[in-house]
Amino acid sequence: MPTDSRAFDAVVVGAGFAGLCMLHRLRGIGLTVRVFEAGTGVGGTWFWNRYPGARCDVESLEYSYQFSDELQQEWEWTERYASQPEILRYLNHVADRFDLRRDITLQTRVASATFDEAANGWTVRTDAGDEVSARFFIMATGCLSSTNTPAIPGRETFAGPMLHTGRWPHEPVDFTGKRVAVIGTGSSAIQAIPLIAEQAAHLTVFQRTANFSVPAQNRPLTSEQQRAVKRDYADLRSRGAQMAFGFDTRSSELSALAVSEAERQAEYEDRWAQGGLPFLGSYADMLFDRAANATAADFIRGKIRALVGDPVVAEALTPKGIVGCKRLCSDTEYFATFNRPNVSLVDLAASPIQAITERGVQTATAFHEVDGIVFATGFDAMTGPLLRVDIRGRGGRTLREKWAEGPRTYLGLASAGFPNFFIITGPGSPSVLSNMVPSIEQHANWIAACVAWMDARGLRRIEASPEAEDAWVAHVNEVADGTLYPSCNSWYLGSNIPGKPRVFMPYLGFPAYVQKCDQVAAGGYEGFALA
Ligand code: N01
């Protein structure tokens, strides 16, 4: 149903972690806001990704808002790593507790947004027929919300259900007695596979690239553990903010090559036993030096060989590349699942998928008859959700045209030619290389402070300068080029999407980034033209 009012101070797209926080912040400075959300509920990524086993791999106590101390004191997490249903409950609680729902229009997708020069504002149209205007247009659509389902020949002919992990149905999916195919072995697949295997008659996993994964070592969170953090929550938050990824990775300052083999093994064993992504914090040069990285890669390879009974399967599951170059996965019993008699692995590197037929999946060497297919094939990351909307800036130029060779932003927050337009965790900001929730809050805080600053001075327009943007894009690339990230094919580089320009999209280094944003603001929004 179209919204009643037509003119707002700000339109925000998306009601996940980013949209909810942005709405709360803008309301706090007295703005009128309309949030449009495509889903039937709030929650964003945690609304859509309902596949079995979906949970966060940043610890619950850190993957949560800090804008309200009451909220962070009151909310009780049940597990070290929260499951999707629990995070969705949390976000619904936030929506209720801060009375956010009255400014959110659900089941409504923003189709276009056009900058109006004369009005210094945006005209926003939705697929429900709304046309509203706003001084500011803010995309809070997340980095991983535009799903990628590969165009495998014959896909449309498959007779059974086809599901994508990122668009999982709301009603329970029962695999009992079914032969199931999972295509993909990224973070989503690695979480879903052990649980689907427990239910299905047979599970066939189609793997194109073997992935590094470390055990999550998930466990219940006791009240005492929570109380200990809550007694000085600020301490945990500030420790996280000082780490490159924006959460407490217990990062070492040592080089992996400066210690003995025995010390290294002990360190990796300890991190393996502790579980989760802090494995990447073992040594300072892990993501910068091939030889340092190889010590960690060899350690994980050894673990996989020990965990998987069949040496041929173990070899196929053993990744060849660099740990962390593709995003490191965190799992519960992933590798051991391949020891089950009802699970088989198809190595697509040896025998690629050629087609999907009515009854199953045809590879170069075999036909696999299945009753259902799960696409765990990821997302058109970072730019996908932004370019899906027809965004037109000054002179009618579209963001799609401007970003044809890859995204160009100033600080990942704004783009030259698109005045009064902000992106939360856009390309060029730490975003997916950081703990998303603090990164989202940092952006929401920065945007709200910027708008308040403008209003206090009667300024109506803000636009990134092309020079500041060029310099920032160059800096983002320079930082990336100093790391091992550009050396493999990953969605960070867009290389999972055929035809997408190969550009490293996120910015590595949360603390330096926050400092830069603060400097820009303190300097009267350096690098922006204000009018
Ligand atoms: O997607 P992915 P995802 N034929 O892109 C394969 C976050 N996340 O949804 O590597 C066959 O990582 C592809 O193979 P390859 C997290 O940031 C977090 O799993 O391109 N296979 C790959 O194996 C994560 O990184 C959490 O060769 C095809 C898989 O599909 C991001 O979301 C949980 C193919 C896609 O893996 C995305 O994860 C889940 C084809 N045509 C997600 N196309 C946690 O917090 C693609 N593949 C724990």
Torsional sign, CA 418, 422, 424, 425: positive
Q: What is the mean pLDDT of residues 417-441?
A: 98
Can you tell me which atom of ligand 1 is nearest the CA of 56? 45
Can you tell me which atom of ligand 1 is nearest the CA of 144? 32
Can you tell me which atom of ligand 1 is nearest the CA of 187? 19
What b/e sequence results for 298-315 when a residue is b if at least 16 CB atoms lie within 10 Å of its CB, and e otherwise? ebbbebbeebbeeeebbe
For 98, how many CA atoms within 13 A lie in the half-sphere containing its CB? 23
- Kindly tell me if the per-residue pLDDT of 3 is higher than 70: no
- Kindly tell me if the per-residue pLDDT of 112 is higher than 90: yes
Q: Token digits for 356?
A: 């999907």
Distance, first Cα to last Cα, the chain: 36
pTM: 0.98
Q: What is the CA radius of gyration of the chain?
A: 23
- Kindly tell me if the per-residue pLDDT of 2 is higher than 60: no
Mutational test site, ligand 1, from 148, 377, 492, 500, max ligand atoms within 8 Å of CB = 377
- Kindly tell me if the per-residue pLDDT of 298 is higher than 60: yes
Tell me which residue has tokens 């992933």: 334
The answer to whether the CB of 255 falls within 8 A of the CB of 249 is no
- Number of helices (H), then strands (E), belonging to the chain: the values are 16, 20
Query: How close is the Cα of 183 to the center of ligand 1, in Å?
Result: 10
Query: What does the DSSP 8-state code read for residue 99?
Result: T
Query: How close is the Cα of 377 to the center of ligand 1, in Å?
Result: 5
The string of pLDDT tens digits covering residues 17-57 is 999 999 999 999 999 999 999 999 999 999 999 999 999 99
Query: What does the DSSP 8-state code read for residue 279?
Result: G
- Kindly tell me if the per-residue pLDDT of 228 is higher than 70: yes
Q: What is the mean pLDDT of residues 347-374?
A: 98
Query: How close is the Cα of 185 to the center of ligand 1, in Å?
Result: 6
Q: Name the closest-CA residue to atom 29, ligand 1.
A: 184
Query: What does the DSSP 8-state code read for residue 222?
Result: P
d(C-alpha 350, C-alpha 169), whole Å: 33
Helix (H) or strand (E) holding 423: strand 421-423
Q: Which residues partner with 10 through β-bridges?
A: 33, 136
- Kindly tell me if the per-residue pLDDT of 109 is higher than 70: yes
The answer to whether the CB of 340 falls within 8 A of the CB of 500 is no
Q: Token digits for 511?
A: 């603390």
d(C-alpha 57, C-alpha 403), whole Å: 31
Average predicted confidence (pLDDT) for the chain: 97
Can you tell me which atom of ligand 1 is nearest the CA of 165? 9
d(C-alpha 289, C-alpha 287), whole Å: 6
Q: What is the mean pLDDT of residues 75-93?
A: 98
Query: How close is the Cα of 165 to the center of ligand 1, in Å?
Result: 10
Helix (H) or strand (E) holding 192: helix 187-199
Q: Name the closest-CA residue to atom 45, ligand 1.
A: 56
Mutational test site, ligand 1, from 48, 496, 500, 502, max ligand atoms within 8 Å of CB = 496
The answer to whether the CB of 97 falls within 8 A of the CB of 71 is yes
Q: Name the closest-CA residue to atom 6, ligand 1.
A: 184
d(C-alpha 376, C-alpha 71), whole Å: 34
Q: Residue 396 — φ and ψ, nearest 5°?
A: 75, 10
Q: What is the pLDDT of residue 4?
A: 56
- Name all contacts of 522-528 with Cβ < 8 Å and 24+ positions apart: 525/450, 525/453, 525/462, 526/468, 527/410, 527/411, 527/464, 527/465, 527/467, 527/468, 527/469, 527/471, 527/472, 528/410, 528/414, 528/462, 528/463, 528/464, 528/465, 528/468
Query: How close is the Cα of 303 to the center of ligand 1, in Å?
Result: 22
Query: How close is the Cα of 375 to the center of ligand 1, in Å?
Result: 9
Q: Which residues line ligand 1 (CB under 6 A)?
A: 56-57, 144, 150, 165, 183-189, 191, 206, 208-209, 327, 330, 348, 353, 376-379, 432, 491, 496
Q: What is the pLDDT of residue 345?
A: 98
Q: Name the closest-CA residue to atom 3, ligand 1.
A: 378
Q: What is the mean pLDDT of residues 450-477?
A: 98
Q: Token digits for 296?
A: 């960690």
The string of pLDDT tens digits covering residues 467-503 is 999 999 999 999 999 999 999 999 999 999 999 999 9
As a whole number of angstroms, the longest Cα–Cα distance in the chain is 70
Q: What is the pLDDT of residue 1?
A: 47
- Kindly tell me if the per-residue pLDDT of 80 is higher than 60: yes
Residue 422 burial (CB < 10 Å; 0-12/13-18/19+)? Answer: buried
Band of residue 221 on the pLDDT scale cut at 50, 70, 90? very high
Can you tell me which atom of ligand 1 is nearest the CA of 208? 27
